[in-house]
Chain A
Amino acid sequence: MENLTAKSFEIRQDILDIIYRAKTGHIGGDFSVCDILIALYYKQMNVSPENINDPNRDRFILSKGHSVEVLYAVLASKGFFPKEDLKTVSQYNSKYIGHPNNKVNGIEMNSGSLGHGLSVSVGMALAGKMNKASYRVYTVMGDGELAEGSVWEGAMAAGHFKLDNLTAVVDRNRLQISGSTEEVMTQDNQDDRWRSFGWYVLHAIGNDINSLNAAFEKAKTIKCKPTVIIADTIKGYGVSFIQNSVPWHHKVPTEEQYTQATQELAQRRDEAL
């Protein structure tokens, strides 16, 4: 079986390449959620280039759309489009723009404005219930994103409709563009918030694929409630000087930094093998 931890560092290298080439991107959040997307696309979700038009495929919405580079890298690695296309990300007239766009194969809905993905996912999950379909809906939000009021409109509806086919993940890396989430707008009390909206709350080590998979499996067993997985992640996980650093929310590496990051990612991959 494929070593997904090793894979996660290869995907991070793809992300690093995208951002270094494009001179733009959100590397901190990409590295933060990388393992969540790998768990979903490599283990959890019933979605592939072959069944992308199947009404019963599982759905994924990247609500924190600025982490699009990781989505592109994972979709390319799963064969939704040629890996060669990653060279065009954020380039002139490319369809691979800086936020998810459903012109790209494998992307369900456009996102980028924070606080939309959960409500859209509620609609998708509701359609599944109406059609008595078995697919599941997944969405990933940032912890800073939880300050958007619309998130809680979606949370309220998901609880109200008892959408047990919906799993939301919070990328709890504790940093946002202006600093610590706890300084900007506290999110440490979110367990109680989610529960009070009718959700089942799980925690996972957000950069540990086994821990994430265990949480996703548990979520499938919860009936009559949507599940939120609060994934404790490290922003920029995988490269020493990028992780846990506020400016690396969207900093672009220099040539020297690119080389060092590449070496570190290769080393991490080798250690995982």
Chain B
Amino acid sequence: MNKVANRQVICDVLTEKANTDKDIVVLCSDSRGSASMGNFVDAHPDQFVEIGIAEQNIVSIAAGLASCGKKSYVASPACFLSTRSMEQAKVDVAYSNTNVKLIGISGGVSYGALGMTHHSANDIATMASIPNMRVYLPSDRIQTKALFEALLKDNKPAYIRIGRSAVEDIYEEGNVPFVMDQATTVVQGSDLTIIACGEMVKPAQEAAQALIEKNISCRVLDMYCVKPIDKEAVVKAAKETKAIITIEEHTAIGGLGAMVSQIVSSQCPIKVINIALPDAPVIAGNSNEVFAYYGLTKENLIQKALELMA
């Protein structure tokens, strides 16, 4: 299994690009360790800014830097970045349209037993609700690299949420079917569709593979671009398959499932089931234990698919 976490890939991409692009600036809020930014700090100390534990400050400072031509990459825990500094993200980044990329590290329930203070189970909802803020949840290290290479080419605001642990590869190195702001079809299928993002793409892929043995052809869409969501892919899935299951490391309120449901209900109504975290503090446990408890698993996906296809 791959042992490279998405955060490490982000550091690698930024470190390499900063060799030639001196406008790249990485900012951390006492988070360089948890963001795996050590290599960047060592390679480009003049392009690194340590702000200390001050998430409101880090976002506004990043915006000020960007307004003067810098390309600001803020790497800070998703739980704080998406709520404590939400107003700074809204006003100084999105509304002022500054070239700031907010990287929410250790997202979702990555921090496990640390509790609700450290979980970001509503960051899609908060960030996606801000006009002019894009939201990305890449699945594996290979897609994360492709996403950041694309983000480096634009000058618009974005929020990117990644998990803490290494995740298994979905794609093959050198063969990433990545088109910016378009869902990636991980598995072709014609009976039903699973739409997933972030760490949930892997169980979706595995569920689809298992469903083949039960004669169910399950499509899997990697909706890493939660906003702007790939409406075309969603509508296509609704037209071409009989039901949709969404799965996300986020509550059902204002997340991927809610967005998919909104599109499907208005454009091509079919049955949609949302698998998500509860609207409550989650139980103590590591990510996989939490996922298992709330059914964010391959097994639950298979069961739901069988129920839908029965």
Taking Cβ atoms with an 8 Å cutoff, the residues of A that contact B are 55, 59, 102, 108-113, 115-116, 119-128, 130-131, 149-150, 153-154, 156-157, 160
Contacts and interface: CB of A to CB of B under 8 A. Distances in A.
B70 A130 contact: yes
B280 interface: no
Given A130-B46, A157-B57, A109 B63 contact: yes
A150 B68 contact: no
Given A110-B96, A156-B54, A123 B67 contact: yes
Contact of B57 (A125, A130, A150): A150
Given A127-B70, A156-B54, A112 B91 contact: yes
Contacts of A149: 56
A159 B37 CA distance: 25
Interface of B: 25, 46-47, 49, 51-52, 54, 56-57, 60-70, 72, 87-88, 91-92, 95-98
A127 B57 contact: no
20 contacts: A102-B97, A109-B98, A110-B92, A115-B56, A116-B92, A119-B64, A120-B61, A121-B64, A122-B64, A123-B60, A126-B64, A127-B67, A130-B46, A131-B69, A149-B56, A153-B54, A153-B56, A156-B52, A156-B54, A157-B57
Nearest to B61: A123
A199 to B, nearest CB: 16
Given A120-B60, A130-B70, A109 B96 contact: yes
Contacts of B56: 115, 119, 149-150, 153
A100 to B, nearest CB: 10
Contacts, number: 97
A123 B54 contact: no
Q: Considering the complex of A and B, which 7 residue pairs feature the smallest CB-CB distances, nearest first?
A: A123-B64, A119-B60, A127-B68, A153-B57, A123-B61, A120-B64, A123-B65
Contacts of A131: 68-69
Contacts of A55: 68-69
Contacts of A153: 54, 56-57
A149 B60 CA distance: 13
A132 to B, nearest CB: 11
A127 B64 CA distance: 8
A70 to B, nearest CB: 20
A111 B92 CA distance: 8
